[in-house]
Structures are given as C-alpha cells and as structure tokens.
A and B are shown apart, each in its own frame.
Chain A
Amino acid sequence: MKKIRIIIYLCFFLISLSVHGLTQELPSNQECRHCHSNPNLKKVLTDGRVISEYVDFDLFYTSVHKKQACVYCHIDATNFPCKNLRKVNCQRCHYKGNLAGAPDLIKYKEYGESVHGRATALGDVKAPMCQDCHGSHYIFDKADTLSRTNKEHIPQTCGACHVNIYSVYKISVHGEALRSKHILAAPSCADCHGEHNIKEHIDPKSKVFLTQVSVTCARCHANMELIKKYDIPVEPVETYRESFHGVAIKFGAKTVANCSSCHEVHAIFKSDDPRSSIYVDNIPKTCGKCHPGASENFAKGKIHINPAKKEAGIIYYVSQFFKYLTLSVMLALIIYIILDLRKKLIVKRKGEE
C-alpha cells in the first residue's frame, strides 16, 4: 500500500512540475489586460448575440479570486488572440482536498442532482452552471453586497433567466420586504427553492413539492421570533395542519390545497391587498379553483381558525360547550355504571345470605 501511495505522490509531483513548466510560457494577467480592459471589446456569438469581453480588472482584484491568474481558469487561453475559449470549469480547483486551497465545496453533488445540473448534463446550454449564478470575474463572499449570491441579489440573479417569475416576485410581499425594506428575514428564491439542490416542483424531493410546501413556509411562518418581530399572523401553519386540507395532505392525498394553492406561488400579497388571491373579493375565485361554484359565502368567516382559541369567536364558544358536555356525559355515565354495579353487588350479597 505504501508503495502505491508513494507512486501516486510522485505522479502528482511530476504533473505539477510539468504544469508549472507550461505556465511559464502562458500570458500573464498584464498581457490579458492589454485587450480586456477595453470597455468596447466585444464578441459576436454564432447565434448572433453580442457579448462584452471587457473585464473590470480593478473590481476583479477585490474579488475572492484576486490572487489568481487569468489562465488558471481560462486554461485554453494559451495563444494570442485567444479565440473560442471554452466555459471555465470551476471544479478544476474547487474539489475536496485540492492543493490550491480553494474552498472544497461539495455542493457539486447537490448541483448535479438538481434540475439545473441535470439539464446541463443533458447538454442544455441555457441551463446555469456555477458562473451563471456566482458570477465569473467578480465573485465575492455572499455576505458582501457586491455578490450575486448575496441574499438581496439572489432574486435578480435567478431572475436573469426566470424573467416572468422575477417580475411577479419583486412586487410580492416577500419581494417588497427584501428589496425595498431590506428585511433580510424575508425569503429570496433560495429560501424556498434551495440553493444548489433545486428540484422541479413535481419532484417529491423538492422543497416546494405539494406535501413539502407547508414545511417550507413553516420555517418562517411558524417561527415565533419572526412572527413577533414582523407582526405576521400567528398560527396559519398550525391551523392548516389541523384543517381537513392539512390532515389529508399528511395522509398522502394529492388533490387538496397546500399553502400556495390559496396564497399563490410567487404573487403572494397581504390579505388586505386587492391584488392578493386571498383578498376578500378574490376568495370565491381562489376557492373555486378546487371547489367549483364557490360562492361569496366562502369569504364570510376566518379561514385559519383554531377552535380552541378565543380568537375563533363563536366557534370557540361552541366547541367549549361541546367539550364540557362531552366530559360531563362521560363522567355521568361512569358514575352511573359504578353505582349500578355497586347496587347489583349489594342485591347479590343479600340473595346469598
């Protein structure tokens, strides 16, 4: 075993020596800069699209890759002019146990199983790879507001491809909170859909699969801290789980409502907003999606009710009445049985005497 290991190390050593030898002849960043610091440098793609080849080197030198040479990533940029470069493969450095000291993120597996990764593997050129979300030259830590994966920027990043969804999300209650009010507790795309492990909504492993929706929403909407801080209605998730919809979905029914069936997927608004699917005038239409012929009476009364809480109003009092009625009936019958048995015992003893 030891011998094999030594041989492997030797091989690595030789390969790195040869790589080192190659890089000696490769262009330096300075050389790249000659052309690529020109803001007008453009390239026409085969499909007619024009893309800029300008690189803001000043910004690049503040990114996490500031110490890297252009050719470390653009390995095929060996000759001038460097034409038809292939897409950069981030995995050249970012793998577990790499010697370059790059963060050994093992998100690739998650990405490979995701809807994006699978599409890429099948040859879909539109599907995003690492650089499409993380950026290419200007990668920053996600805590940095310049980062494309910074929480406040994620909607724009995803929205670059998912244009229609982005246009709906950005005016929704979640989008407004995150973008206009800078409330970082509000969900961006990744909070509901995941980051590298994004699955299609029809995939049972998806965070937004119909049985998972209430779990995903509950991460915030059943979080007492957030509920108090942002004055979110108190127990929508709990009451949903106790309702027929919630119980049915728990036991595997596929045709009952989850949170987004009523509150919409991306176009979520507060209930007092006329754009909301649960605005009082819109409720018959919303309920009518599953209950054909739903009347305006569907809107007369609260939807999320907990009969055990006083806020439920008359429903609370009716259920309290029945609760005590049930208890007293039980108690009365138990007393009756005990007394009856006692009497029978007495009669029997008398008979025996």
Chain B
Amino acid sequence: MEEKMMVQRFTRSQRVQHFLLLISFIILIITGLALKFHDSWLGKLVINLEGGVIARGIFHRFAAVLLIFVAIYHFFYIIFTRYAHEEFLLMLPKFKDFKDAFQNVAFTLGLSSEHPKIDKYAPQDKFQYWAVVAGSFLMIITGLVLWYQTQAMLVLPKWAIDITRVMHSYQGVIIAVVILLWHLYIVHLNPKRFPMSRIWIDGKVSLEELKVEHPLEYERKYQGVADEKN
C-alpha cells in the first residue's frame, strides 16, 4: 500500500495549548462534578480519592490557574504571531458558515445529496471553538468570584454570589456534556475516527482526508503541489 502523504495542519504551539487545555478541563470537570454530585456514591468516591473536600478545592483551583494561563497565552499567541492571527481570522464566523451549517443538517437528514465544501474550519468546529472561548471566559469569571467571594462581596450582594454559584455549577455541567457528547464523538467515537484521530498528537492529517473533509483548504494550499506531483 502506498504510504499516505501527510500534511501538517496544526503547529506544535497549538497542540501544546490543546493539551494543556485538555488536562485542565479534565481535572476541572472531575473535581467540579464530584462536588456537584457529592450525594451520589460516585461523587463521594471521587471526593475521597481526591483526598477530601479541601484537597479537591486545591486541585480544582490548580487546574483553573492552568486554564487561565492557557487562555492568556492563547490571547497573546493570536495577537503577536502572524500564523495564529491568520488562523483566528479563519475562525471568525462568516455568512457562509450559516449556509454550510444549514446544508450540513440537510445532508445529514438526507434532504440534500451534497456535503458543504469546507475550508480549514467547518461551522461545527468554529462553534466549538467559540463555545470553548465563551465557556472558559464565563467559568473563569464566575470561578474567580467564588474563589475570592469575600472580596467580591465588597461590590456584589450575597444573592449575586448565589446566582454565580448556580451559573458556575450548571455551566460546568453543560461544558462537560458538550465535550463528552460532541467533541469526543467527533474525534474518538465517530466510526471514521475510532479509536481516535492522531491529529492532536502530531498535528498531521493525510492529504486524502484533507481533500474530502476540507476541500477548500486543500484547493487553497495543496492543489498546486498535488498537480505538480501528478
């Protein structure tokens, strides 16, 4: 079998950021859900495995600091590197995304025979990116308010803190649900990818897959190369 031609799709910095994000999300979700579901046997087990409720809090804050670090790093990465800035521009929602998303739904339902032609980021990719950005932002803000609640209450009344707790708690669950059901389905459990896509490790994807999944990116970057080869 002919060796597949692999192309680099994500830089090392992007992969490291993704990895740190993944570590912090996993710790945050495990420690957070354990507290939310402290009444269930699983919640009890996890809290005790984490070394009690105080240690749980320390783990959660440690992971939160990691998340904040990644967020700040990502922000500067976009501002100060040409590559990331271009990537960011590709990530911005455009009118085409709504059209593509609509067509994607139609295709999935069998109402359209054509899959939308996608550039580097499909509408669902963009949506997930922005969900992560918005989710992390809200979680960091609400989390900091709860972390420094005495200081926060110099400005906020007690009921606002209670709302913050409810928001932080439920947003955490929603983020966990989105990651478990959507992101993990796309990159792991999806029959096409199972057991997983290796892209998050080496950042590479085969040219054939790129051509099918991201035809516009393929045309933009590799059409010439491929033609030359032939």
Contacts and interface: CB of A to CB of B under 8 A. Distances in A.
Q: Do A and B bind each other?
A: yes
A352 to B, nearest CB: 14
Interface string A317-346: 011001101100110011011011101101
Interface in B116-175: 149-151, 153-163, 166-167, 170-171, 173-174
A330 B170 CA distance: 13
B65 interface: no
B211 interface: no
B195 interface: no
Interface string A246-261: 0110111100000000
B98 interface: no
B171 A305 contact: no
Contacts of B52: 251-253
B47 A251 contact: yes
Say what secondary structure dominates the interface of chain B.
helix
B166 A318 contact: yes
A291 interface: yes
Contact of B109 (A248, A333, A339): A339
Contacts of A251: 38, 47-48, 52-53
Contact of A247 (B38, B149, B177): B38
B84 to A, nearest CB: 29
Interface of A: 247-248, 250-253, 291-295, 297-303, 305, 307, 312-315, 318-319, 322-323, 325-326, 329-330, 333-334, 336-337, 339-341, 343-344, 346
Contact of B53 (A248, A292, A315): A248
A247 B170 CA distance: 18
A325 B174 contact: yes
Given A295-B150, A326-B177, A340-B108, 4 more contacts: A250-B38, A297-B158, A318-B166, A333-B177
By DSSP majority rule, is chain A's interface helix, strand, loop, or mixed? Answer: helix
Contacts of A314: 159, 163
Nearest to A313: B159
B177 A329 contact: yes
Given A252-B53, A297-B154, A336-B182, A247 B162 contact: no
Contacts of B158: 297-303
A326 B170 contact: yes
Contact of A253 (B54, B167, B174, B185): B54
29 contacts: A250-B38, A250-B53, A251-B47, A251-B53, A252-B53, A253-B53, A291-B149, A294-B150, A299-B158, A301-B159, A303-B158, A315-B159, A315-B162, A318-B167, A322-B170, A325-B170, A326-B170, A326-B173, A329-B174, A330-B177, A330-B181, A333-B182, A337-B185, A339-B108, A339-B109, A340-B185, A340-B190, A343-B110, A346-B110
Given A315-B162, A319-B166, A341 B157 contact: no
Contacts of A337: 181, 185
A100 to B, nearest CB: 52
Contacts of B167: 318, 322
A248 B53 CA distance: 6
A248 B54 contact: yes
A34 to B, nearest CB: 69
B181 A334 contact: yes
A58 B80 CA distance: 100
A326 B174 contact: yes
B151 to A, nearest CB: 7
B4 interface: no
Contacts of B47: 251
Contacts of B154: 293, 295, 297
Contacts of B191: 341, 344
A342 to B, nearest CB: 8
A251 B150 CA distance: 23
B187 interface: no
A343 B166 CA distance: 38
B159 A247 contact: no
B207 interface: no
Contacts of B107: 343
Contacts of A297: 153-158
B178 interface: yes
